[in-house]
Structure 1
């Protein structure tokens, strides 16, 4: 009987131990050990379960964030969480704005999921450890919103570093700012509102498009370029240029300094065609009162041809030529021989224009009063009556000449006066002014 009682009690004890083990495994003692019930980094740290078993945990402190990064956990902040970056700045990881993977961090762009202490917003996809460093060596996608409200974004980013509202990028497959789009850009920099690009396959802004650019710098309506295969601006295509400068107003060119990087180069700016060789430089500046350009061409054998009466004054280098071939006034040309000096020719087509010919190497072609004054060394040319598109020399001068048109429209006789000491010579010739 005693033996049977002993066996019965032993069975009961075994049953109790078994129930305790089962109930303990089910959390019957109040301690949660089921991995599906653990939602926070803190709970995971206290569970004793290997951390690599967890996915999509929540965190709400800097300690928990760095614990996640250290152990390669995934998750997101359950509330706005402040962390300190390696450079001492603080960053707020926004609730619902940051998703951390084992290697990458994905940050919502609008509004930005990460906000620095100065108000700078960051979003995109990049290595999780790089966020802590404060700068981003590489990013598949990156969005940057400065404290001043300027937005920039891009793809294939290498070497991104921030300095308040400014930044530098070693390379970007594509980068877009409020004013520029850059394709395959090296050495991109935004500083003080200006955009710099060391090298770019293509740079597109509100006004200009630049192809194969080196040393590009833009400051609003002005930009400089060290070298470019092509620049499209205000309907004008400039090809093979270097060390050039452009200024615009409402998208229209108001000032330009263009140097050719090759021979036999040409472009047409607002009806003004320029032909030049390597290292020749052309300058244009718009007079806003008259709407006409003042021009200069530093070339040994270049040419400027105007088809509209929109040239105020033009400086012609020795060996170069200016031609007017428009329909508003009679065609003419002025050539400066190689042994002459830089010659300034002004063309008056508006009554309100005033130009002086009181100089040793200058002239005024006055279509308003039908007069002309030429001083210095020059050749005054008119179209040939025998050959199209050929200008013939009418005056080969080394001195001062003046012309006055006859009042009769179809009478092509003009008066030429040349001062020589005390003597004055007059000559009539059938040429048109």
Structure 2
């Protein structure tokens, strides 16, 4: 297949390189010239394990190229929208500016493919009803292009694997039977290797496909906030949330995943997606159906304040002039994504209250320097913790999980530690002489 990916950020670049790696001819389009220039050289514009290897191999094969000129899309049959849908600046809903701009830029170049009727595929996460609006936009423009929605389910840190070996594929197809069959046939060709490997395929209409992604993210967010709410009760009673999570996770109706209490979720998907879901439900007159997500969001934000309050308590009631080391800045390990990062949020709150904060992260240090110039940045945990009166672990990178508590104690001024991700062995740290606290554990 000849495929374009419109938008070469995290989603689009990974999709483009991965599709080229399985044999498709792929053109990545983006308006950011520097990003395109870097990708042409095999330079990844973000940290994602395994991506740079797939990118360089796809470029070397000749099946992958990048451009800022949308006219180059004329010879391609399938066009995949992979642009961002951030939260609106002045509201909770999704900003669809980039989605509409991408479609508008493509429209003059559709219907020119020599291989047959073109297919526009949406992978961006959008409010329900967006696909129908775009279908009407294509119709009003006089193009014969088909539209389908194909939501992505990528996990940062596993994006290449999730693209090449997805746990499910979802199609949102037109209502008209003939158009639905034609769109499905084209998508089946795109995903032929995955379908031959018996990857489950779920098909529905446009609104169903749009709702699948936000429903999945809302469920995961709810599960995380649920166990964090239980952690709050544990801290008030002396219960151990890690034991509770283990016990309820053994129930196969619940399962153990996303049941580790901590400082909450972040990133570019879960926070903005649950807010956009609530906002869209409100617009549709179904706001009460998702009112529980408001509490999910509140619990998540409350965990960050809890860490700040616990830090103040451990420091004797004042942050002024106190040196604090924060281990982690990305919202999760194996990523340099700092969007809505709990770690960076806590670090900024501590700094804003007068603490002398030093942050370190294996992948996100450069982003911290750009986004939070008020924070000091260190190359590793030991440099960050030098003379610190409190150390916080807020992103569970392996190198932080493997820290030697005895060795780290040698460089700090005071051996106080908050494990914001519940990933360390409390006994080992206390035996080494640390005043060790964690989330919802005695």
Give the TM-score taking structure 1 as reference length.
Answer: 0.19
Higher-Rg structure is 1
Which TM-score applies when normalising by structure 2?
0.19
Q: Which has the higher contact order (CA 8 A, sep 6+)?
A: 2
Structure with higher helix content: 2
